[in-house]
Amino acid sequence: MARIENWNAELRTWLSPFLEKLGHKARRQMCPLYVSGLIGPGDRKSVQPMAERFAPGDYDQLHHFVAAGVWDAAPLEAELLIQADRLVGGSDAVLVIDDTAMPKKGEYSVGVAPQYASTLGKTANCQTLVSLTLARGEVPVMVALRLFLPESWTSDRIRLKRAGVPAEYQTARTKPEIALAEIDRMIAAGVRFGCVLADAGYGLSAPFRQGLTARSLSWAVGIPRHLKVYPAGVKLIWPKAARGRPRRRHIPDILSVAAEDMLADAKWQTVSWRNGTKGRLKARFAAVRVRTADGPPQRIWDMGQQHMPGDEAWLIGEQRMSGEKKYYLANLPARTDLHTLAATIKARWICEQAHQQLKEELGLDHFEGRSWQGLHRHALMTMIAYAFLQHRRLAKAKRKKKNQRTTASTKLTGRASRHRRDHRSITTSAVPALPKMDRHRAAA
């Protein structure tokens, strides 16, 4: 992230709508200090070192603010959605669903359990947060972080009570269920986005995909290679009974197959979707129309039970330069071209950048408390800090673009003055084209 200088006054102005929702004067004082501590220098972003750097003598108040203070986070979460939508919301924005693991020792911190940690590439003792990231182009803004509670927690009422888990979150919920609940909150707040993206951890869930469709949302999600699909032309027929009573339910006229088998004979093409640090990013893609095998289960002859055909969708395969293959489903329109499908799928990478910056530079995983409330308040403060930095970057990029236009206009005026006696009109086509702005690089 860019080094921030002379930003404290700007931060307080930007935080004004958040501070109005905190009410008490002490909270309005502690919130900017906490956010400043997250943004400012220092390797450790837990309460004590931040207090030493930004609020000497106020450790108790700063700790009380995040861990024990009596204030409702919901109004600040709602304001974060407003600011995020203002920054990057729109029909061309995407909402990326993912989760991020935070390694944690001990067993008393809320949600800690042996779980797969993507950052470590193995199962480890950690907390897992379901994340929602609103992004447009190469500018992400994290809008939600919600703790996932494993069964070892939801089955232990004493443990839940000790960690202060609210009653409404004590029942077991899957990560896709948490994500759908947060999406409902985004929709209710009027956040604008065009497509929901998620990896195979969410895409393999038929209820998750169906939930997105029921909300009239476009989506593109990863799936495991063995997920079953039907050809788009599958038909439902009446089975003929050799003996006994006539059959009462339709069955498909062809059996479902694994996604990788469906694409085995497809036409693969090389597609490039954006510039990376080492040049254009490209891979081989193939796409066919299919029907998902996520309808009600039905016994088919002697083949056992299979899920009936569901909605029509795109099945997309990606073969990376390493030879690794990935598979996706998307409910984008049937007329969508392969380049658009590939670019949409690959837009999900931006949330990984946001996770990394929230941890490495804003201390998302530095919270040392054990409570549900403290963890979620700390996560909220990191998201607010991140949104402020993105606000500042976009403002800088906008000023740079304006200056480029002003410089070009000045050159045009001078050129016109020099050639006025020639009575030749200078059109905009005579102006050298401005270089296309790399939004991410300009923001950084």
Q: Could you report the per-residue pLDDT of 358-400, keeping only the tens digit for each?
A: 999 999 999 999 999 999 999 999 999 999 999 999 998 888 8
313 and 169 co-located in one domain = no
Choose one of 277, 303, 331: the last residue of a domain. Answer: 331
108 and 42 co-located in one domain = yes
Q: pLDDT-based confidence at 416, cuts 50/70/90?
A: very low
**Average pLDDT taken over every residue of the chain:** 86
103 and 251 co-located in one domain = no
189 and 96 co-located in one domain = yes
15 and 164 co-located in one domain = yes
140 and 75 co-located in one domain = yes
Residue 321: predicted pLDDT: 87
385 and 304 co-located in one domain = no
51 and 179 co-located in one domain = yes
3-state SS of 105-118 is CCCCCCCCEEEEEC
Q: Which residue has the higher pLDDT, 75 or 2?
A: 75
Q: Does 441 map to a domain?
A: no
371 and 315 co-located in one domain = no
Q: Which residue has the higher pLDDT, 67 or 426?
A: 67
Q: Does 408 map to a domain?
A: no
Phi, psi at residue 385, to the nearest 5°? -60, -40
Q: Does 444 map to a domain?
A: no
* Cβ pair 77, 115 in contact under 8 A: no
Range in 50-59, 145-154, 409-418 the model is least confident about: 409-418
Q: pLDDT-based confidence at 94, cuts 50/70/90?
A: very high
Q: Does 443 map to a domain?
A: no
DSSP 209-253: HHHHHHTT--EEEEE-TT-EEEETT--EEPPPPSSSSPP-S-EES
136 and 251 co-located in one domain = no
Q: Does 199 map to a domain?
A: yes
CB neighbour class for 116 (10 Å; exposed up to 12, middle 13-18, buried from 19):
middle
What is the arithmetic mean of pLDDT over 223-238? 91
Question: What three-state secondary structure class fits 257?
Answer: strand
Q: Does 368 map to a domain?
A: yes
Residue 122: predicted pLDDT: 87
Q: Does 338 map to a domain?
A: no
Residue 272: predicted pLDDT: 93
39 and 78 co-located in one domain = yes
What is the C-alpha end-to-end distance of the chain, expressed in Å? 6
Token duo for residue 153 = 């927690």
What is the arithmetic mean of pLDDT over 413-421? 43
Q: Does 339 map to a domain?
A: no
Rounded CA separation 31/22 (Å)? 9
- Number of domain units in the chain: 2
Q: Say what the pTM is.
A: 0.86
Q: Which residue has the higher pLDDT, 323 or 414?
A: 323
* 297: containing domain: 225-331
Give 277-313 pLDDT, tens digit per residue: 778 889 999 999 999 999 887 776 666 677 889 999 9
How large is the angle between the packed helices 59-67 and 372-418, nearest 10 degrees?
A: 100
269 and 154 co-located in one domain = no
